[in-house]
């Protein structure tokens, strides 16, 4: 059924730290690797050695943010499925392929039922779903459901591939429904936020905003040390000016 569960036992999700992310795209690559070799249809590349175009479940945008005062900041912005509580992608699905799990809130696609109409991708505000053009089925982040419960893996590997691989510790995985979990505490402490809250999707994944920057006295450091050229260089400057 593509109706949403009224509540889920846990709310597994990611917390992404926009202050710490360095934009290395390691999470993008590890996600593509794991999800091509494991559950479901592989994430295809169209013309892999030519024009790069293919399916990814995780992408890193890079933004410049210009505050009212002070210099602009660079923010790297990883984006994947937010496993929304009120997921519009699930209810629009005509075949019953899209569903949200009652036990942990993970939003998944049953590829055996998907007819590739693409309506769920239209319904998602975050661009979290990409139709794989080779397989003809909708692909999305599974929160590495085939890792997190996988007892064949060492315990430290039972987290999503993107979290496991992040070299800067910018990605955290846990139960956001439990106010005492590490991720919930982190969200409370750092003012974790929802993306596009105005659309009412109630995302489970949270983003931690960049920490406020130091107010360095930039003006002094960047003042020119010599406004007017003097001596030989002054003469040269004048001579060249007159030519």
Partner 1 sequence: MHPAPSVIFFTAFSGLGFGLLAFLGLGMPGLNGWLAFTFYFIAYAFAVGGLLASVAHLANPKNAIKSFSQWRSSWLSREGVLAVVTLIVTAIYAIGRIFFDTSMPALGAVGSALSILTVFSTSMIYTQLKTVPRWNSPTTPFMFVAYSLAGGALLAGQVTLALFTLALYLLIVAAIAQLLNWRVGDQRMLTSETNLGTATGLGNVGVVRQYEPPHSGKNYLLNEMVYVVGRKHARKVRRISFVAAFLIPVLALLAFRDAPHIGGMLAIIFHILGVIGSRWLYFAEARHVVANFYGK
User: Interface residues with partner 1 (CB under 8 A)?
Assistant: 1-3, 18, 28, 51-56, 59-68, 72-75, 77, 79, 88, 91-97, 112-119, 121-127, 130-131, 133, 135-137, 193-200, 207, 209-210
In angstroms, rounded to a whole number, what is the distance separating the alpha carbons of residues 148 and 85? 20
CB of 215 to partner 1, least distance (A): 14
Nearer to partner 1, 67 or 169 (CB): 67
Give, as one character, the DSSP assignment of residue 152.
T
CB of 143 to partner 1, least distance (A): 20
CB of 21 to partner 1, least distance (A): 12
Nearer to partner 1, 94 or 234 (CB): 94
In angstroms, rounded to a whole number, what is the distance separating the alpha carbons of residues 136 and 118? 10
In angstroms, rounded to a whole number, what is the distance separating the alpha carbons of residues 154 and 87? 32
Q: Which helix (H) or strand (E) holds 122?
A: helix 119-123
CB of 187 to partner 1, least distance (A): 12
In angstroms, rounded to a whole number, what is the distance separating the alpha carbons of residues 17 and 77? 9
* Dihedral angle of Cα 201, 12, 183, 36, to the nearest 10 degrees: -100
Retrieve residue 7's tokens. Answer: 């509540």
Nearer to partner 1, 126 or 158 (CB): 126
Q: Which helix (H) or strand (E) holds 123?
A: helix 119-123
Residue whose C-alpha is closest to residue 206's, from 162, 240, 174: 174
Nearer to partner 1, 10 or 42 (CB): 42
* Dihedral angle of Cα 136, 158, 83, 19, to the nearest 10 degrees: -110
For residue 34, the tally of other CB atoms under 10 A from its CB is 21
Nearer to partner 1, 10 or 19 (CB): 19
CB of 162 to partner 1, least distance (A): 14
CB of 202 to partner 1, least distance (A): 13
In angstroms, rounded to a whole number, what is the distance separating the alpha carbons of residues 241 and 192? 57
Nearer to partner 1, 57 or 148 (CB): 57
Nearer to partner 1, 3 or 150 (CB): 3
Q: Which helix (H) or strand (E) holds 76?
A: strand 73-79
């Amino acid at each position: 059924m593509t109706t949403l569960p009224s509540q889920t036992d846990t709310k597994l999700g990611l917390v992404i730290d926009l202050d710490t992310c360095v934009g290395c795209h390691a999470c993008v690559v590890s996600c593509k690797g794991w999800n091509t070799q494991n559950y479901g249809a592989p994430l295809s590349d169209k013309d892999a050695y030519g024009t790069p175009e293919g399916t990814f479940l995780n992408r890193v945008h890079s933004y410049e943010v210009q505050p009212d005062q002070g210099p602009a900041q660079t923010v790297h912005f990883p984006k994947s499925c937010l496993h929304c509580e009120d997921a519009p992608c699930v209810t629009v699905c005509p075949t019953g392929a899209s569903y949200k799990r009652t036990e942990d809130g993970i939003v998944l696609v049953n590829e055996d039922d998907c007819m590739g109409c693409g309506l769920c991708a239209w319904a998602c505000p975050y661009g979290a779903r990409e139709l794989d053009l080779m397989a003809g089925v909708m692909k999305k982040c599974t929160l590495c459901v085939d890792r997190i419960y996988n007892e064949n893996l060492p315990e430290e590997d039972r987290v999503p591939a993107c979290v496991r691989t992040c070299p800067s510790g910018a990605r955290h995985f846990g139960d956001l429904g439990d106010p005492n979990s590490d991720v919930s505490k982190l969200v409370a402490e750092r003012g974790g936020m929802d993306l596009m809250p105005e659309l009412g999707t109630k995302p489970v994944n949270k983003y931690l905003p960049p920490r406020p920057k130091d107010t360095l006295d930039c003006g002094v450091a960047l003042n020119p040390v010599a406004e007017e050229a003097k001596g030989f260089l002054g003469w040269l400057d004048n001579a060249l000016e007159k030519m």
